[in-house]
Amino acid sequence: MRQARAAPPIDIDSNETDTPHMNGDLTGLPAAPLPHDAVAAPSTPVTAPASRDRRKALRRMGAVVLSFPALPALAAGVAGAATIVAVRVWPASDYTRVTIESDRQLAAKSFMAANPDRLVIDIDGLELNAGLKELLGKVKPDDPYIAGVRVGQNQPRVVRIVLDLKQAVAPQVFTIEPVAAYKNRLVLDLHPTRERDPLLDLVREKEAAESAAAQSVNDALGELIGRIDRPQTAASSAESAASAAALPPQRPASAVARIETPPPPAPPLKEVAPEMSQSKLDRLIVIAIDPGHGGEDPGAIGPTGLREKDVVLAIGKKLRDRLNANPRIRVMMTRDADFFVPLGERVRKARRVQADLFVSIHADAFITPKARGASVFALSTSGASSTAARWMADKENAADVIGGVNSKAVKDAGVLRAMLDMSTSAQIKDSLKLGGEVLGQIGKLAKLHKGSVEQAGFAVLKAPDVPSILVETAFISNPEEEAKLRDPDYQDDLVKALATGIARYFAKNPPLAARHRAL
Ligand SMILES: [Zn+2]
């Protein structure tokens, strides 16, 4: 084995003829195991003269390529280099996706290399061009997974992309056939090697908020103690507290006020705080908020260009903040940024945190721009409650196709479907109650498309044990409703209606005591 070079300085453009050598430089790996080595023959010039190598290489590429010298025009049309239409990067803490869109399907091989971690992708039938080089500028410094990108013409017709990584990843590289507005897509998904535990995240987030609150009390207390020269009585302590409250501008008055009562300080607070947080956690209500679409799937687009995925994320975040203001509630967002989440993954996320509720937020388009009004949907296992409901469910269920799900990765799709089809009538009954409360509140501020909760086979509502609704907040295809959706004040009103509907549901249907979360 040839020694790999440490910290390879890459000059992939200048090295075009020395392919095996370059492989070593580019990846830190010896050249031999690379999949395209058979094509790159110049390393054995005596037994394999260039012309023979070329024939050999061309043979491997297929008969169509052999026609290239004779019929360049035809060859360019049939088997010439693919044209890159666009490159997109969707960074998120869940995973980062890189999409390379082209006018024909790209064949790619990929492998991971370590020390430092890199993902190397060789794309066949491609010439390095400006479109692909755009990728370099599209990776943001705060991308959770990608530290940098290098692109080079590894061989004639083979472009090598090296993603320098911030951490080891479990990559998924796959292609998607043309669909909707997209041509062929080559997708590189960089998943973490260890999946985050969303429930643990929620608990940590809650603990961090509580300890920050406790810390601010302790800080005030520490400052107060620092100002006291000798042991004090409760009365003089309160006096000092009052003066302390007057002095430091950053101390919230309420925090200082609280320390007036306990006599000399720290121990009582430390004892009380964990008890409080534990009792709160035991009764924690977890609500899954699911902003529809995201990433490659823009959802519906309004007449002036407002995208459903953006507006529902904004509404979802506002709803999260409003609900999280209640210390008994913690919200889990199925997505909190602009990235694609498969429908089944949304359901799985909700179940992993044992959510008490699942609320999917949308703002769709209809065939006619005149369609208007909000709708609330629950699951149906036996046909849709109306043609429009079925149409809407079909449209929402197509999100996976447009967003780009890796069908190979969903090996257990059958098992998953069977599990989801176990959706109980109890879930649907609760979902209808929840939907009714939410619809009642939305009806106070917006026109309703239909006065009752509709039902259809929405894939995203299929958690068998979580009451789940899908709210179509408005028709983004309607110019007036698009304008409303864009308006932050209207978004606030909508969020208030959703939160009130949820609160009314819980008031009438308290979360089961049995639903304790194992922490
Ligand atoms: Zn939608």
Note whether 258 and 407 are same-domain residues.
no
Length of the chain: 519
For all residues of the chain together, what is the average pLDDT? 76
Whose tokens are 């609150």? That residue is 213
Q: How far is the CA of 396 from the centre of ligand 1 (A)?
A: 5
Distance 361 CA to ligand 1 centre (A): 7
362 located within any domain: yes
pLDDT band at 199 (very low <50, low <70, confident <90, very high): confident
Report yes or no on 57 lying in a domain. no
The rounded Å distance from CA 292 to ligand 1 centre is 5
192, 212, 232 - which closes a domain: 192
Find the Cα–Cα–Cα–Cα dihedral 414, 416, 419, 421, rounded to 10°. Answer: -70
Q: Tell me, yes or no, whether 59 lies in a domain.
A: no
Q: Are 289 and 361 in contact (CB under 8 A)?
A: yes
273 and 323, same domain (yes or no)? no
More confident call, 281 vs 213: 213
pLDDT at 424: 74
Distance CA 511, CA 432 (A): 16
Query: What angle do helix axes 343-352 and 413-420 make, rounded to 10 degrees?
Result: 60
pTM of the model: 0.72
Distance 143 CA to ligand 1 centre (A): 27
**Cα(440) to centroid of ligand 1, in Å?**
21
What is the whole-number distance in angstroms between the Cα of residue 140 and the centre of ligand 1?
A: 28
Find the 505 Cα to ligand 1 centroid distance in Å: 24
Instruction: Assess whether 371 and 258 both reside in one domain.
Output: no
How many A from CA of 286 to the centre of ligand 1? 23
Beta-carbon contacts of 411 under 8 Å, excluding residues fewer than 6 positions away, are none
- Which one-letter amino acid corresponds to residue 156? P
Q: What is the token pair recorded at 226?
A: 């620092």
Question: What pLDDT, in 10s, does the model give residues 435-471?
Answer: 999 999 999 999 998 899 999 999 999 888 899 999 9
Residue 67 CA, distance from chain mean position = 45
Q: Are residues 380 and 491 in the same domain?
A: yes
Distance CA 163, CA 145 (A): 9
Asked if residue 75 has pLDDT above 60, the reply is: no
- Per residue in 482-503, pLDDT (tens digit) is 999 999 999 999 999 999 999 9
Provide the residue range defining the domain that includes 111. Answer: 19-37+81-192
Residues 6+ apart with CB under 8 A from 220: 244, 248, 251, 255, 256, 259
Beta-carbon contacts of 171 under 8 Å, excluding residues fewer than 6 positions away, are 110, 112, 119, 188, 189, 190, 191
Letter string b/e over residues 391-423, b meaning 16 or more CB atoms within 10 A of that residue's CB: ebbebbeebbebbbbeeeebeeeeeeeebbeeb
State in Å: Cα 517 to ligand 1 middle.
31
H-helix or E-strand spanning residue 148: strand 146-155
Quick one: 211 and 150 in the same domain? no
DSSP run (H or E) holding 291? strand 285-291
Q: What is d(CA 312, CA 291) in angstroms, rounded to the nearest whole number?
A: 5
E-only strand ranges, 399-513: 454-456, 468-472
Q: Which of 291, 241, 458, 475 is nearest to 374 (CA)?
A: 475
The number of folded domains in the chain is 3
Distance 343 CA to ligand 1 centre (A): 11
CB atoms within 10 A of CB 16: 13
In a domain? residue 69 = no
pLDDT of residue 413: 58
pLDDT in tens, 293-308: 999 999 999 999 999 9
Question: What pLDDT is stored for residue 489 in this prediction?
Answer: 97
If DSSP codes are grouped into helix, strand and coil, which group holds residue 147?
Answer: strand
Domain presence at residue 54: no
Q: Does residue 517 lie within any of the structural domains?
A: no
CATH, residue 85: 2.60.40.3500
User: Is 371 found in the same domain as 244?
Assistant: no
Least Cα distance to 344 among 288, 403, 417 occurs for 417
- Residue 53 forms part of a structural domain: no
State the DSSP H helix or E strand holding residue 199, giving kind and residue range, or none if neither. helix 198-227
Q: How far is the CA of 350 from the centre of ligand 1 (A)?
A: 18
One domain, residues 103 and 182: yes
Residues 331 and 399 occupy one common structural domain:
yes
Query: Are residues 393 and 293 located together in one domain of the fold?
Result: yes
Using CA of residue 364, residue 385, residue 357, residue 447, what is the dihedral sign?
A: positive
Is 85 inside a domain boundary?
Answer: yes
CA–CA separation, 452 vs 276, rounded Å? 41
Question: Which of 70-84, 368-382, 450-464, 465-479 comes out lowest in average pLDDT?
Answer: 70-84
User: pLDDT digits over 232-263, tens only?
Assistant: 444 444 444 443 333 333 433 333 333 333 43
Shared domain check, 174 and 158 = yes
Q: Is the pLDDT of residue 264 over 90?
A: no
> Where is the domain boundary, 146, 168, 192?
192
- pLDDT confidence of residue 207: 76
Spatial distance between the Cα atoms of 98 and 91, rounded to a whole number of angstroms: 8
Q: Which of 281, 300, 321 is the last residue of a domain?
A: 281
| Residues 42 and 49 sit within 8 Å (Cβ to Cβ) | no
Per-residue pLDDT, averaged over 313-330, amounts to 95
Tell how far the Cα of 195 is from the centroid of ligand 1, in angstroms.
27
Give strand pairing partners of 448: 374
Between CA 223 and CA 217 the distance in angstroms is: 10
Pair (344, 465) in one structural domain? yes
List, in sequence order, every residue forming a beta bridge with 184; answer none if it has no partner.
102
- If asked whether residues 185 and 269 sit together in one domain, one would say no
